[in-house]
């Protein structure tokens, strides 16, 4: 009986021996795999920026943009090709998410992004606004995202914003729709001359 207990204790002790070399090898291998995935994602992001390199420089706000019609603070969630909510645009810093302060004037939309490149969308480049639920990499409840459509060079873009106070989104859609409809009427009048 005692010999079987000693034999059982010896078997349990040999089962408890840890192979540290194998464990360390697995941990190092896993860390290398995660580092490789991160590097591949970074290279893919840079490649996408290279492919979109034909976008012109982002416009800057004029000295006197006029009286603000609306202001908003919130988050900038990125830009995509218009109508293609998953086709993210990363060139010219448009892929960088950040806090944002938006100011709408008769001259256009001024987007100030602390920690990222600011840009200005002239009123003539604005094409419309809508409430939506998603843009590349960000999905919110229905109507939780303000999407502004505008033109940069010959590329039409959708940019997604979320206000700190989501109730403001409807007022922004109305104001932007009003401003773009005025610009369309002015353009049509100039074209008829």
Do strands 70-81 and 98-105 pair parallel, antiparallel, or not at all (unpaired)? antiparallel
Distance separating alpha carbons of residues 13 and 1, to the nearest angstrom: 19
Query: Count of domains in the chain?
Result: 2
pLDDT, greater one: 34 or 85: 34
Q: Is residue 81 part of a domain?
A: yes
For residue 4, what are the contacts with CB-CB under 8 A and spacing of at least 6? none
Mean pLDDT lowest among 35-39, 40-44, 133-137: 133-137
Q: Is residue 59 part of a domain?
A: no
Helix (H, G, I), strand (E, B) or coil at 103: strand
Task: Indicate if 79 and 140 belong to the same structural domain.
Answer: yes
pLDDT tens-digit series, residues 15-24? 566 788 989 9
Residue 1, pLDDT score: 60
Task: Indicate if 88 and 169 belong to the same structural domain.
Answer: yes
Task: Supply the range of the domain harboring residue 20.
Answer: 2-50
Q: Is residue 60 part of a domain?
A: no
Q: Is residue 62 part of a domain?
A: no
Taking CA atoms, 182 is separated from 12, 82, 126, 142, 164, in Å, by 83, 21, 11, 28, 28
- Dihedral-angle region of residue 17 (phi above 0 means left; psi in -120 to 50 means alpha; beta otherwise): beta
pLDDT tens-digit series, residues 105-132? 999 999 999 989 999 999 999 999 999 9
What is the average per-residue pLDDT within 160-180?
92
Task: Indicate if 46 and 119 belong to the same structural domain.
Answer: no
Query: What pTM was computed for the model?
Result: 0.75
């Amino acid at each position: 009986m005692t010999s079987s207990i000693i034999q059982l204790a010896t078997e349990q002790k040999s089962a408890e021996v840890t192979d540290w070399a194998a464990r360390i090898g697995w941990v190092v291998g896993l860390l290398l795999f995660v580092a490789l995935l991160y590097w591949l994602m970074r290279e893919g992001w840079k490649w996408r920026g290279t492919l979109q390199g034909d976008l012109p420089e982002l416009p800057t706000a004029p000295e006197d943009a006029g009286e603000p019609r609306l202001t908003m603070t919130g988050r900038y969630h990125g830009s995509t090709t218009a109508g293609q909510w998953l086709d993210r645009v990363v060139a010219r810093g448009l892929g960088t998410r950040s806090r944002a302060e938006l100011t709408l004037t008769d001259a256009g939309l001024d987007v100030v992004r602390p920690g990222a490149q600011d840009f200005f969308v002239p009123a003539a480049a604005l094409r419309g606004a809508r409430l939506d639920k998603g843009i590349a990499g960000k999905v919110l409840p229905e109507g939780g995202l303000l999407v502004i459509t505008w033109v940069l060079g010959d590329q039409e873009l959708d940019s997604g914003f979320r206000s700190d106070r989501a109730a403001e989104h409807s007022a922004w859609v109305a104001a932007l729709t009003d401003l773009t409809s005025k610009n369309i009427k002015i353009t049509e009048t100039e074209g008829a001359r």
